[in-house]
Amino acid sequence: MAIQSRTRKELRQEIGRNLGAMLKGTTTGSGSTTTLVDTKLLLGGDDDYNGKYVRFTSGNNNGTTVLVSDFTDSTSTATFSQTLANTVASSTTYEMWDEAYNPDFIDDFINDAIVQYSPRALVPDEDKTLFGHISRPEHTIPSNMVAVSEVFYRTSFDSETLDDANSADSWTAGTNVTLSKDSTDYRANGSALNIVTGDVGSQALATKTIGSVDISNMDKVEFWVKSKNALSANSLTLTIGSALNLPALSARTWTKVALDLSSPESLTAVTSLVISSAHATENDSNEIWINDIRVVETATEKYEKLAPYCWRIDRENGNLRFINGCESVVNNAKIKLLGYKLPSVMSSDTDTCDVSPTLIVSKATARALVSQAGGRTTDLDERRQLSQWWESQSALAERSLPLLRPGTKMAGTIGQWHLY
């Protein structure tokens, strides 16, 4: 079920209206680093706005909260207790909050509500970063995905092989580099290109001229890679028109890499492939295997769904495992996972909320009210009673949260789950 997207600013301002504690204004003149001027909103006597909070929502001080220490009615000028980094310009928008409610705390209440409902308000997610291989039935589920409901494997796609990378033929070695064919350790095409390095630093390790190839209709390059040394992200590059950075690689582990081509529409005449070290030391005394370099048009990909008996989730380790012989079905195939991720907390006013805004606003309003409620004899504004009403509204909204897809399997334990 789709939800209406709302920004943090929109949520906070709705909470402010629920509390009757926030007004929106726009400066009518230039202020300073310690003042703002608004002849339209700021009406009343001297000191009427003392102790209130100002939250800027545009301009050079956007996102900053300050406390009003003085107000001069004759000039409609509010003075702050802090000094801003920038002068408050005319036409700057802001929120004016009652002294009981610091808007920064309202932001915290919003995130607290998101975290509280995270196990019940999971966000649909899709991942296409895994590749199957018959010798490796177990795969680490991407860390952002907390539940998997369906598994698909790629059955067809348009591609073009740039090089089988199954021998050293026509490849030119860089300085202190030895190239050879490895017929015992490979992932495709019966063998792999093997690169053994000495002290290489940052340089080209292997270069191959491939003639003029038009790949302007493709958008990714895929290939297998393995490194004896663990490598950090960007330690290796593959140049196809421009240098493409490889991700971090675990030691002695074959990895299928899929990289976005840079400006593919311009790649109408690719003439070479270059595998390079881009790190000063990590590729010294290393051994690297490369296999099956091809470019892919992802828009043409087609997938088939795997039956539930073909896979299971190891919740303790967060792994996806292919079982009952299905590892052969997905051999060398790209894997698509449909599942769920946790909703994101919001760190800026432009961030959008993944959870039902009605639920988050109701819960955050209740939290704000109870934070300012006193005992029975001191709660003259009946904030505790009001907070209970807003809690009831959040309970109603919670019942409307969508259920997870049938067959969803959790990748870990994060709270209470409800399934079909």
CA separation for the pair 60, 85 (Å, rounded): 8
Q: Is 309 left (phi over 0), alpha (psi -120 to 50) or beta?
A: alpha
Is 150 within 8 Å of 128 (Cβ atoms)? no
Domains and CATH numbers, the chain: 8-119+345-399 (no CATH), 127-337 (2.60.120.260)
In DSSP notation, 36-92 reads: EE-TTT--SSTTTTTT-EEEE-SSTTTT-EEEEEEEEGGGTEEEESS--SS---TT-
At CB < 8 A and 24+ separation, what contacts does 79-82 make? Answer: 79/34, 79/35, 80/34, 80/35, 80/36, 80/54, 82/34
pLDDT at 317 (0 to 100): 86
Sign of CA pseudo-dihedral 111, 115, 120, 124: positive
CA separation for the pair 26, 109 (Å, rounded): 26
Is 244 within 8 Å of 262 (Cβ atoms)? yes
pLDDT at 102 (0 to 100): 98
Angle between helices 8-19 and 103-117 (to 10 degrees): 110
Closest by Cα among 192, 199, 119 to 403:
119
Q: Hey, what are 418's tokens?
A: 């409800």
Q: Which three-class secondary structure state does DSSP give residue 203?
A: strand
pLDDT at 414 (0 to 100): 57
* Count of Cβ atoms closer than 10 Å to residue 285 Cβ: 13
Encode the chain (420 residues) as per-residue pLDDT tens digits. Answer: 556 789 999 999 999 999 999 999 999 999 999 999 999 999 999 999 999 999 999 999 999 999 999 999 999 999 999 999 999 999 999 999 999 999 999 999 999 999 999 999 999 999 999 999 999 999 999 989 999 999 999 999 999 999 999 999 999 999 999 999 999 999 999 999 999 999 999 999 999 999 999 999 999 999 999 999 999 999 999 999 999 999 999 999 999 999 999 999 999 999 999 999 999 999 999 999 999 999 999 999 999 999 999 999 998 888 999 999 999 999 999 999 999 999 999 999 999 999 999 999 999 999 999 998 876 666 656 888 899 999 999 999 999 998 888 888 888 655 544 333
Chain-centre distance for alpha carbon 232:
20
